[in-house]
């Protein structure tokens, strides 16, 4: 769909690509080569969640997910409390809304990343969602919906301090996507003491006039 | 608004601008010259050729955004105006690549610093690459011409505090510093250059050369991705392009064929070598994509005792070249010191961390100051640069190995930046490194830097200056184009962007791109008109 190359040069590109994150990053660990394939066979959600997966958890059921699967959403719902810490509101309803909104903005952001980086992220998320690799590589024993904030934090710390560059990279990818989507959002600007664009300029500029 | 905005007025007056997303059927168009890319190089080329009476088609992969869209919001701007929605990285993910993808290219989002190519760099090119015709004297009028065209002059308002702290630190330590020339006209000193200037003060390609070209009958397609240059015998016959949907990233099935006598590629570093590789143009010595440079950047942040508000005010106004050429042009790697603007999303992406530690980091943003070091890569055998290749889907990716030579420079830069920040009164300083704490004295920071592992991913690295990959030179065995940007092997192809630099610049590159493109387009116009 997005190919710039003539058709014949592209045979098997998709299947090769799905493994490249694992291959290039983790070389020797042979069994990993089949993760994505196995993951899709064993019922890991591989289609964008659209609206359906969102309905139970989301406040805004009108958002249509374009990249994140139901499993990815579980993953971020488990990770965000550890990534955002006390920046998330304590009040349960507000907290759920803040997490839901952040997950949606993560999805919207990833959509704009374009196909190549989406593939990389798909591999990372598959690796984290697929039971076998979640346990062996992330060393997270329970499925994400059962993971506590302490356990999620433990996972983040392990990947952050690991001597393996690939894990550091995974740590950066997960935290950066989340932090940018959260702190960059207007409603959270106050958490970084940012008052927003100067009022006088907003008043004076034509693009902010509503009529 | 439409009365005052140059773009809105132009569109109303009937400029030939086609949004790829509105195309419903394949089509073909023809002109004297087809130019790929609407940034510093492409815009300059289009205006000069169009004013000389040549018919021009401009092709831009990103979309047309202008004043009505520039609302000082980071998330929308990063998603729409930057390559890969601001997620572009090097092949191994270790270096974040900031690069523009919209009409105006990176000049629409750049920070307006406007430096001539340093004399030492031009002289080095003369000696090493047979580019004696680009001597400082020969280039001076081209720089002057572009300084005028883009209203470049030293910033005459007071630097914001973020920049002034760099000045203060340099003063205290006896390091040289200078005021940065900026390409602005009636700047409101707001500080949002990186998300699209909301006031039309910034004189990037979007408000200068692009309107100049469109006023002279140029036909601009945006939301149209150049896929392949198609050769017939020894000449390029057409450009094959794909229209993108209105989200700017989803390709549609609409194919556009653009024919011309001459083609100018100005898709910039990474983009231009990518297009040449996809097109399988003659490259007998396999030079395309090689020697790609990035001015690798590392950073340090400081917590200051007084408010800095690093999100407000002209983003860059003070620099120091104390360490840029201090070991000679080709000794230990030199670095230029500057300051980045810090808005919430940018800071959240640059400062690594999570949990309550990150909550604290972010809460201190109004007191935060940052210094960056831009390493001058490509002037030493141990700094051969990176390589652009194609991913399976044909999109370009940069592999950039960081050599020990560069790591040494990055470590030295960490020392320099921390020392400057403490000299300027910082309470605490943190290096942008996964293992760095906040340090409360220069002695502590120094001891910590001694021990920091200089490794990919742990050291946070960035680039906003992509260069090379279609390097110029007099020897076809070592280069892709000559000093006029003319392809060594294809007679009707020029390259007019940052990809032709044979090394990095050693200063923010936009003026180097503008000046060289102006010089080479003037020559090209003469050639094509005879
Ligand atoms: C955040 C940021 C801050 C910066 N600050 C400064 C600064 O203060 N001073 C300075 O001198 N420099 C700065 N720069 C760098 C400077 O803007 C660039 O070096 C300069 O614009 C490069 O010019 P160019 O013509 O090579 O490429 P660009 O200006 O980037 O233009 C290339 C264009 O080609 C398009 N393109 C790519 N591939 C295709 C394709 N296949 N089909 C169609 N179109 C394509 C791109 O979308 C882009 O619009 C900054 C850059 C960034 C990102
Ligand atoms: S600082 Fe000046 S040039 Fe930059 S965005 Fe503000 S008004 Fe525009």
ipTM at complex level: 0.95
Q: Of A35-44, A142-151, B80-89, B467-476, give the lowest mean pLDDT range.
A: A35-44
Q: Which residue of A has its CA nearest to B192?
A: A197
Cα-Cα end-to-end distance for chain B: 43
SS3 for B484-529, per residue?
CCEECCCCCEEECCHHHCCCCCCCCCHHHHHHHHHHHHHHHHHHHH
A164 part of contact set with chain B, CB < 8 Å: no
- Nearest C-alpha to atom 8 of ligand 2 is from which residue? B197
What token pair was written down for A84? 């955002």
For residue B160, the surrounding DSSP H or E stretch is none
Do B434 and B300 touch, CB atoms closer than 8 A?
Answer: no
Q: Which ligand has its closest atom nearest to the C-alpha of B184?
A: 2
Strand ranges (DSSP E) for B233-346? Answer: 235-244, 251-265, 292-293, 297-303, 318-319, 335-338
Residues of B in contact with A202 (CB under 8 A): 72
Q: Which residue of A has its CA nearest to B364?
A: A192
Q: For position B381, what pLDDT does the model report?
A: 98
Q: Where are the domains of chain A?
A: 13-42+67-210
Residues of B in contact with A209 (CB under 8 A): 1
CA-to-CA separations, B232 to B108, B213, B241, in angstroms, rounded: 35, 29, 17
Residue from B356, B365, B393 to probe the interface with A (highest A Cβ count within 10 Å): B393
In terms of Cβ atoms closer than 10 Å to its own Cβ (0-12, 13-18, 19+), residue A43 is exposed
Distance from CA of A138 to the nearest CA of B (A): 17
SS3 for B84-121, per residue?
HHHCCECCCCCEEECCECECCHHHHCCCCECCCCCHHH
Phi-psi region for residue B418, left (φ > 0), alpha (ψ -120 to 50) or beta? alpha
Give domain B6-112+115-149+192-285+469-529's CATH architecture: 3-Layer(bba) Sandwich (3.50)
pLDDT average, residue stretch B280-306: 98
pLDDT average, residue stretch B288-309: 98
pLDDT (tens place) for every residue of chain A, 211 residues total: 345 655 444 433 333 343 444 433 443 333 344 444 455 555 555 678 765 444 455 556 689 999 999 999 999 999 999 999 999 999 999 999 999 999 999 999 999 999 999 999 999 999 999 999 999 999 999 999 999 999 999 999 999 999 999 999 999 999 999 999 999 999 999 999 999 999 999 999 999 998 6
Residue with the two structure tokens 């500080």: B191
pLDDT average, residue stretch B97-116: 98
Report the C-alpha gap between A113 and A116 in whole angstroms.
8
Q: For position B211, what pLDDT does the model report?
A: 98
Domain with CATH 3.50.50.60 in chain B: 6-112+115-149+192-285+469-529
Q: Which of B162, B182, B184 to mutate to test the pocket of ligand 2 (most atoms within 8 A of CB)?
A: B184
Q: For position A32, what pLDDT does the model report?
A: 42
Cβ neighbours, 10 Å, residue B247 = 14
Cα of B44 from ligand 2 centre, angstroms: 21
Phi-psi region for residue B348, left (φ > 0), alpha (ψ -120 to 50) or beta? alpha
Q: For position A38, what pLDDT does the model report?
A: 52
Q: For position B530, what pLDDT does the model report?
A: 79
| DSSP, res B212 | H
- Smallest Cβ–Cβ distance between B362 and the set A160, A191, A198 belongs to A191
B258-275 burial, b at 16+ Cβ within 10 Å, e below that, comes to bbbebbbbbbbbbbbbbb
Q: For position A28, what pLDDT does the model report?
A: 31
Predicted model pTM: 0.94
In terms of Cβ atoms closer than 10 Å to its own Cβ (0-12, 13-18, 19+), residue A154 is middle
Give domain B156-183+297-376+403-455's CATH architecture: 2-Layer Sandwich (3.30)
Cα of B317 from ligand 2 centre, angstroms: 12
B363 part of contact set with chain A, CB < 8 Å: yes
CA-to-CA separations, B230 to A41, A70, A131, A192, B317, in angstroms, rounded: 42, 43, 48, 51, 45
Helix spans in chain A (H): 13-26, 35-41, 70-84, 92-113, 115-129, 131-136, 149-161, 165-183, 199-204
Q: For position B208, what pLDDT does the model report?
A: 98
| Of B237, B296, B339, B253, the residue nearest B466 (C-alpha) | B296
Which tens digits make up the pLDDT trace of B224-271?
999 999 999 999 999 999 999 999 999 999 999 999 999 999 999 999
Which tens digits make up the pLDDT trace of B197-226?
999 999 999 999 999 999 999 999 999 999
Residues of A in contact with B362 (CB under 8 A): 87, 183, 191-192
Domain with CATH 3.30.410 in chain B: 156-183+297-376+403-455
Residue with the two structure tokens 């680009």: B134
What's the mean per-residue pLDDT of chain B? 97
Q: Is the CB of B187 under 6 A from ligand 2?
A: yes
Cα of A48 from ligand 1 centre, angstroms: 33
For chain B, give the percent of residues with pLDDT over 90: 99
Residues of B in contact with A201 (CB under 8 A): 72, 188, 190, 198-199
Q: For position B319, what pLDDT does the model report?
A: 98
Q: Of A31-45, A178-192, B390-404, B481-495, give the lowest mean pLDDT range.
A: A31-45
pLDDT average, residue stretch B175-198: 98
- Smallest Cβ–Cβ distance between B365 and the set A1, A86, A194 belongs to A194
Interface of A with B in 72-111 (CB under 8 A): 82-87, 105, 108-111
Residue with the two structure tokens 């990233």: B249
Q: For position A31, what pLDDT does the model report?
A: 37
């Amino acid at each position: 769909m997005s190919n710039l190359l003539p058709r014949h040069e592209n045979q098997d590109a998709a299947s090769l690509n799905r493994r490249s994150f694992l291959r290039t990053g983790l070389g020797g660990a042979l069994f990993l080569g089949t993760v994505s394939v196995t993951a899709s066979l064993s019922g890991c959600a591989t289609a964008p969640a659209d609206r359906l997966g969102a309905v139970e958890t989301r406040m805004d059921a009108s958002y249509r997910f374009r990249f994140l699967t139901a499993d990815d959403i579980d993953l971020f719902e488990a990770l965000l409390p550890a990534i955002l810490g006390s920046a998330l509101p304590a009040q349960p309803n507000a907290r759920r809304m803040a997490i839901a909104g952040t997950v949606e903005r993560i999805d919207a952001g990833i959509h704009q990343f374009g196909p190549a980086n989406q593939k990389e992220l798909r591999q990372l998320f598959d690796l984290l969602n697929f039971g076998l690799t979640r346990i062996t590589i992330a060393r997270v024993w329970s499925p994400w919906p059962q993971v506590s904030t302490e356990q999620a934090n433990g996972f983040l710390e392990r990947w952050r301090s690991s001597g393996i560059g690939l894990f550091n990279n995974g740590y950066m990818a997960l935290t950066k996507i989340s932090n940018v989507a959260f702190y960059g959002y207007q409603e959270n600007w106050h958490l970084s003491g940012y008052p927003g664009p100067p009022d006088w300029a907003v008043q004076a500029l034509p693009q902010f006039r509503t009529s | 608004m439409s009365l005052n905005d140059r773009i809105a007025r132009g569109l109303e007056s009937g400029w030939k601008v086609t949004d790829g997303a509105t195309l419903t059927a394949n089509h073909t168009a023809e002109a004297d010259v087809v130019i790929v890319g609407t940034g510093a190089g492409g815009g300059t080329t289009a205006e000069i050729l169009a004013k000389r009476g040549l018919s021009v088609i401009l092709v831009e992969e990103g979309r047309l955004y202008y004043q009505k869209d520039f609302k000082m919001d980071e998330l929308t701007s990063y998603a729409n105006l930057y390559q890969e929605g601001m997620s572009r990285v090097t092949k191994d993910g270790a270096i974040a690549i900031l690069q523009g993808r919209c009409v105006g290219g990176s000049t629409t989002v750049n920070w307006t610093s406007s430096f001539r190519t340093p004399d030492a760099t031009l002289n080095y090119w003369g000696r090493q690459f047979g580019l004696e015709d680009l001597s400082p004297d020969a280039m001076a009028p081209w720089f002057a011409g572009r300084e005028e065209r883009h209203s470049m002059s030293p910033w005459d308002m007071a630097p914001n505090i973020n920049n002034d702290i760099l000045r203060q630190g340099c003063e205290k330590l006896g390091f040289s510093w200078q005021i940065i020339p900026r390409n602005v006209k009636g700047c409101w000193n707001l500080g949002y250059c990186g998300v699209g200037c909301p006031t039309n003060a910034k004189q990037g390609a979007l408000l200068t050369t692009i309107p100049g070209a469109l006023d002279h009958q140029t036909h601009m397609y945006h939301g149209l991705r150049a896929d392949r240059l198609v050769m017939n015998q020894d000449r390029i016959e057409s450009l094959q392009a794909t229209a993108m949907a209105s989200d700017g990233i989803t390709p549609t099935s609409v194919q556009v064929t653009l024919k011309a006598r001459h083609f100018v590629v100005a898709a910039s570093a990474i983009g231009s070598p990518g297009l040449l590789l996809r097109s399988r143009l003659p490259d007998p010595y396999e030079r395309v994509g090689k020697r790609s440079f990035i001015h690798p950047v590392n950073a340090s942040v400081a917590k200051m005792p007084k408010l800095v508000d690093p999100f407000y005010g002209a983003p860059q106004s003070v620099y120091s070249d104390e360490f840029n050429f201090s070991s000679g042009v080709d000794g230990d790697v030199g670095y230029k010191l500057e300051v980045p603007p810090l808005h919430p999303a940018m800071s959240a992406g640059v400062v690594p961390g999570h949990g309550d530690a990150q909550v604290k980091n972010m809460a201190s943003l109004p007191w935060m100051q940052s210094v960056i070091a831009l390493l001058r890569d490509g002037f030493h055998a141990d700094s051969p640069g990176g390589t652009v290749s194609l991913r399976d889907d044909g999109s370009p990716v940069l592999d950039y190995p960081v050599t020990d030579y560069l790591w040494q420079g990055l470590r030295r830069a960490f020392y320099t930046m921390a020392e400057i920040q403490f000299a300027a009164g910082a309470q605490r300083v943190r290096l942008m490194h996964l293992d760095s704490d906040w340090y409360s004295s220069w002695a502590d920071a120094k001891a910590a830097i001694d021990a920091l592992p200089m490794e990919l991913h742990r050291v946070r690295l960035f680039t906003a200056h992509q260069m090379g990959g279609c390097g110029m030179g007099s020897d076809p065995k070592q280069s892709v184009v000559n000093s006029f940007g003319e392809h060594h092997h294809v007679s009707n192809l020029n390259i007019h962007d940052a990809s032709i630099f044979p090394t990095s610049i050693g200063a923010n590159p936009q003026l180097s791109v503008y000046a060289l493109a102006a010089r080479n387009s003037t020559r090209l116009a003469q050639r094509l008109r005879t």
